[in-house]
Structure 1
């Protein structure tokens, strides 16, 4: 449409300079043609048309008014400007509301007819009236039809986006339900059945404790064997729930893979963005308890997720420091920082999955501590440290048989 406008404008100027010949108003007509072209071609920059479904801005309406005013003066001075109105219907009027676009298109068509009749000579030519009406009707019908199609397409896209979001939510709920059912079945098979069997054996031993001691002792041994099998199953079950990143890999390998993960993708077609993450190793990690490795990795994942989502940082460093009796991990960034005292509520942390209270709880369960250092504009450092000797003692006490710990 812009190319058609330029061609029609050039044709009108050419007719002005060649066919009509210079006269008293040629200079004014040429200047108005240039103003008309500049107003039309520069309009999308300083007064863009409204998007579908939006009301036109005041600036856009002023631009249309100026175009129509200049065009009316050109019609009075130079009838060759008549057909320059067709691109206006496409590039300016089609974005207006229908109650405003239809009367404006009718007025433009009427002005074209009047201008053609004014310069006509000889016998009356009905095509001078029929052709503008037919062309204006076709243009208006095409514009209205394209607008309806655009509205339907927009509604269809909105429905598809909403359906995709609902499908993703349903898949997440289905996955969570399936995982809950799997865990429920595992717990039932591991604990419920074993505890039921132990209860029956112990009740039978209690009834026969005085009348048949040998049988009662046999029942007690059976209950102990059942408890041992259940304990082994529970340990296997817990081991299967360990992070997949540590399955067959060392903690260093898992940390380095975490730092090499790609940045998060953008929205509405925007490119991926995120800080550059570097992993550093200070010392040589020994054989760390599985609970400590899991906690160190999970805290690093949570802290790095916070860096990518909230900090606005351009660089982050994960440092794993190992010594003979302790291990710690630092996640430092150069982001905007925050006030460490204003930590999200624990309920909010659970819903998000990477809250600082959740990381504190995870570090505490592993026998370690979590420390957060931050200030506005100075970045953030999250540190989890574990004293291995203290953790080993706590872990040993937690795995002793019940009769020994009591």
Structure 2
């Protein structure tokens, strides 16, 4: 325990107690002076008593300037002279005990309090001309209670400070954990967005360039058309990367007016069909409604991911994309007539594609179901509940 930290920290934070201490000290000094004048009048010692009382109050008021043990020593010295002159000033020992506990470490403060108690007992006994047990035990009990109360307050404040420090540390750890969780979530989002946009665009470019290479000699016009489509796809991919960085919807969904998702699906199907030669059909059932940029983006990128898997893994000749609007939900189905999925390591679910789709849909309360049998094609069904609809 240090002189300048623990005691000051205890009572320094209890503003009401400190004000009560100041008030009590002033009241006791004034009351002791009035008692002396009432009992003894303005005799020869009255001016000395009044000068001592004024000096005691002035020394107490100089606490913010003097501070520390020097201030306490001056207070005790002036008080000691007043007690020798007028024993009624002994009551000022109570607030002075708290001053000592505020200024000094605990055990030195206890020594000062004990000295003041001994002074009070001696002076009261001399004033009564006999040994009165109440005059001995009264000051002792008051001192013990004062020191005990201060000690309890000190320990409570120390325990409270420990709890506050632990709380601040826990808040810091929580902030770090939230920051790390946010960083991981952002990394997962970027991984999902890049897979569903950039990777699929590169896959389309690869298919178009392969088609152009195979037709470069025999069908140069078709090869040039494939190369032009590859260039257009590259430009769209560049725009898509910029939009992913800005967390915007795909370019096909930025049109205003009618719901853009059906047209974006048809545009995606036409581009992939031209690049791969697979017959990709897009069907829309129900009345198209505006679903919001986040839902439209999730469904479009789910369709792109599913079609990318069809072109890469299924060896299908036909794929059908069905978008169904219902009052309580919107459904997206992608079916192909390819070779289906086997249980081996070629299962696309082992990669990031389907996992990213599931993450994106689950964030919106949706689901993703994949059904496939070897030799009988694959069916992927995605659904998202609409806002305001029952779960």
CA contact (8 A) 2:83 2:123 kept: yes
User: 1:95-135 CA distances to partner (integer Å, 9 max, x unpaired)?
Assistant: 4211211211221222211121111135x321111111111
Q: What's 1:43 paired with?
A: 62
Provide the rounded CA distance (Å) in 2 between the counterparts of 1:235 and 1:65.
75
CA separation in 2, counterparts of 1:120 and 1:208?
Answer: 126
The Cα offsets for residues 23-74 of structure 1, whole Å up to 9 and x where unpaired, read as 432221221111112111x134313xxxxxxxxxxx4211111111111111
Change (3 A) 1:133 1:19: same
- The aligned counterpart of 1:397 is none
The 1:173/1:188 distance shift into structure 2, 3 A limit, reads same
CA distance in structure 2 between the partners assigned to 1:154 and 1:239 by the alignment: 45
Which stretch shifts more, 184-193 or 215-224?
215-224
Deviations 1:274-315 (A, max 9, x none): xxxxxxxxxxxxxxxxxxxxxxxxxxxxxxxxxxxxxxxxxx
Cα deviation per residue 1:134-188 (whole Å; 9 max; x = unaligned)?
1100000001111111122222223323332333343334333333332333233
**Highest RCO, 1 vs 2 (Cα 8 Å, sep ≥ 6):** 2
Root mean square deviation of aligned Cα: 2.9
Matches of 2:134 and 2:113 in 1, distance apart? Answer: 19
For 1:161 and 1:170, how far apart are their aligned partners in 2?
Answer: 14
Q: For residue 294 of structure 2, what is the aligned residue in structure 1?
A: none
Q: Which residue of the partner structure matches residue 60 of structure 1?
A: 68
Shift of 1:91: 3.2
| Residues 49, 86 of structure 2: 8 Å contact kept | yes
Q: Which position in structure 1 is the counterpart of 2:48? A: 28
Do the aligned residues in 1 keep the contact of 2:83 with 2:90 (CA within 8 Å)? yes
SS of 1:24's partner is coil
Q: Name segments (4+ residues, structure 1) moved above 4 Å.
A: 207-222, 238-242
Q: Confirm or deny that 1:233 pairs with 2:253.
A: no
Contact 2:212 2:224 in 1 (8 A): yes
Q: Residues of 1 paired with 2:101 and 2:219: CA distance?
A: 102
Larger Rg: 1 or 2? 2
Establish whether residue 155 from structure 1 lines up as the match of residue 162 from structure 2.
yes
Q: Which runs of 5+ in 2 are unaligned?
A: 1-20, 250-391
After superposition, where does 1:98-109 map in structure 2 within 5 Å?
98-109=106-117
Give the distance between the partners of 1:116 and 1:215, measured in 2 at CA: 120
Instruction: Verify the 8 A CA contact 1:204 1:219 in the aligned structure 2.
Output: yes
Distance in 1 between residues matched to 2:246 and 2:142, nearest whole Å: 77
Which residue of 9, 22, 27 corresponds with 1:7?
27
What's the TM-score once normalised by structure 1's chain length?
Answer: 0.50
Structure 1 CA distance for aligned equivalents of residues 80 and 224 of structure 2? 112
Separation (CA, whole Å) in 1 of partners of 2:110 and 2:246: 72
1:191 matches 2:191? no
Question: CA 1:64 to 1:95, structure 2 compared with 1: closer, same or farther past 3 Å?
Answer: closer
Distance in 2 between residues matched to 1:152 and 1:98, nearest whole Å: 17
Contact 2:68–2:103, Cα closer than 8 Å, also in 1? no
